[in-house]
């Protein structure tokens, strides 16, 4: 297996962040068992690359297999070219290259992945990157970031092997993957529903269907939208298990039940994926 080249793109907004990025790069290198080579700009902290920053950055992005994008307020401003003139030109330049590559590839992406510091916020992810966010925070989620780099999705290993070995049309492959995901979501929904309704009183059994619909609607969302809702209803994202998304979803509903947030969760889902003309069934 060839070595995976990884580049970490971030904004120089604080010494604390610089150290956190350096620590992440070191952790990945140490724990990847020689499978990953990580490049950051820390080697040029005192003297710039002789080819100059723009060329060096463009070369790193072009030659890397994976680009980890550390999304912070300063990075977002620079990505969107809203920073003060003369500040953050590196991140501005990298953001332009990343955006153009995604556009050139019609947003089909296996290279650019946003990550967030543990004390960060998902609102700092540029819009064009939001659909590629899989809930990876660091350093608490370093294991998940490494698995993402290695393309390690255990649940779908057999599917991936089938895809790689077959000449089946891409649309058929996508249909198979969607069917499998739907079956997985159905099983998860059953388990969550069982736990969520285990203490319902007999007079509350009429709530079974709305709870089930809410669970299914939540599980059908992409990960960015899930995390956006979780954050909006007051659940601490950083405290959740980001190594295993299935377990994290179960954990979310456990907290929703404990904190009586089901009405707020329904509203959050409805804003993103409308329930139509239905009124919130959890508001009396």
**pLDDT tens figures, 148-195:** 999 876 555 555 555 555 555 666 555 545 554 565 567 777 778 777
60 and 162 belong to one structural domain:
no
Residues 150 and 35 sit within 8 Å (Cβ to Cβ):
yes
185 and 69 belong to one structural domain:
no
Ranges 103-107, 117-121, 145-149: which has the least confidence: 103-107
pLDDT of residue 114 exceeding 60 = yes
80 and 103 belong to one structural domain:
yes
173 and 249 belong to one structural domain:
yes
123 and 19 belong to one structural domain:
yes
165 and 251 belong to one structural domain:
yes
DSSP state for residue 238 in the 8-state scheme = G
Among residues 133, 152, 171, the one where a domain terminates is: 152
What's the token pair of residue 267? 């509203």
How many domains are contained in the chain?
2
DSSP state for residue 242 in the 8-state scheme = -
How many CA within 13 A on the CB side of residue 98?
A: 34
Q: Order of strands across the sheet with 66-70?
A: 36-39, 4-9, 66-70, 112-117, 137-138
Question: Does 277 map to a domain?
Answer: no
What's the confidence (pLDDT) of residue 175?
58
114 and 216 belong to one structural domain:
no
Among residues 135, 152, 169, the one where a domain terminates is: 152
The predicted-structure confidence for 244-275, as pLDDT tens digits, reads as follows 777 888 889 889 988 999 999 999 999 999 98
Q: Which are the contacts of 95, defined by CB distance < 8 A and separation ≥ 6? A: 75, 78, 79, 80, 81, 126
20 and 112 belong to one structural domain:
yes
132 and 236 belong to one structural domain:
no
DSSP state for residue 240 in the 8-state scheme = S
What's the CA gap between 9 and 57, in Å, rounded?
A: 9
∠ CA 123-128-27, nearest 5°, is 70
User: Range of 17's domain?
Assistant: 4-152
What's the confidence (pLDDT) of residue 88?
46
What's the CA gap between 158 and 140, in Å, rounded?
A: 28
Question: Does 283 map to a domain?
Answer: no
What's the confidence (pLDDT) of residue 284?
76
The predicted-structure confidence for 63-79, as pLDDT tens digits, reads as follows 999 999 999 998 888 88
144 and 206 belong to one structural domain:
no
């Amino acid at each position: 297996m060839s070595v995976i080249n990884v580049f970490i793109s971030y904004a120089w907004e604080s010494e604390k962040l610089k150290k956190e990025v350096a620590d992440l790069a070191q952790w990945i290198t140490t724990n990847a068992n020689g499978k990953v080579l990580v490049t950051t700009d820390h080697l040029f902290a005192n003297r710039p690359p002789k080819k100059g920053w723009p060329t060096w950055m463009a070369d790193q992005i072009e030659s890397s297999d994976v680009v980890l994008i550390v999304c912070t307020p300063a990075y977002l401003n620079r990505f969107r070219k809203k920073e003060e003139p003369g500040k953050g030109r590196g991140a501005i330049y990298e953001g332009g290259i990343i955006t153009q590559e995604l556009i050139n590839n019609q947003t089909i992406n296996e290279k650019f992945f946003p990550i967030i510091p543990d004390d960060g916020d998902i609102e700092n992810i540029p819009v064009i990157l939001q659909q590629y966010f899989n809930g990876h925070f660091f350093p608490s989620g370093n294991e998940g970031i490494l698995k993402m780099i290695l393309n390690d999705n255990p649940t779908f290993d057999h599917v991936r092997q089938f895809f790689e070995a077959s000449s089946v049309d891409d649309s058929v492959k996508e249909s198979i993957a969607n069917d499998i995901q739907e079956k997985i979501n159905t099983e998860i929904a059953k388990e969550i529903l069982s736990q969520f309704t285990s203490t319902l009183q007999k007079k509350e059994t009429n709530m079974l269907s709305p709870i089930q619909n809410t669970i299914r609607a939540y599980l059908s969302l992409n990960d960015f939208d899930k995390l956006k809702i979780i954050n909006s209803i007051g659940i601490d994202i950083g405290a959740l298990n980001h190594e295993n998304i299935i377990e994290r979803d179960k954990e979310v509903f456990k907290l929703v039940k404990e904190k009586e947030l089901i009405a707020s969760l329904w509203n959050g889902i409805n804003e993103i994926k409308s329930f139509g003309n239905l009124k919130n069934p959890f508001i009396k």
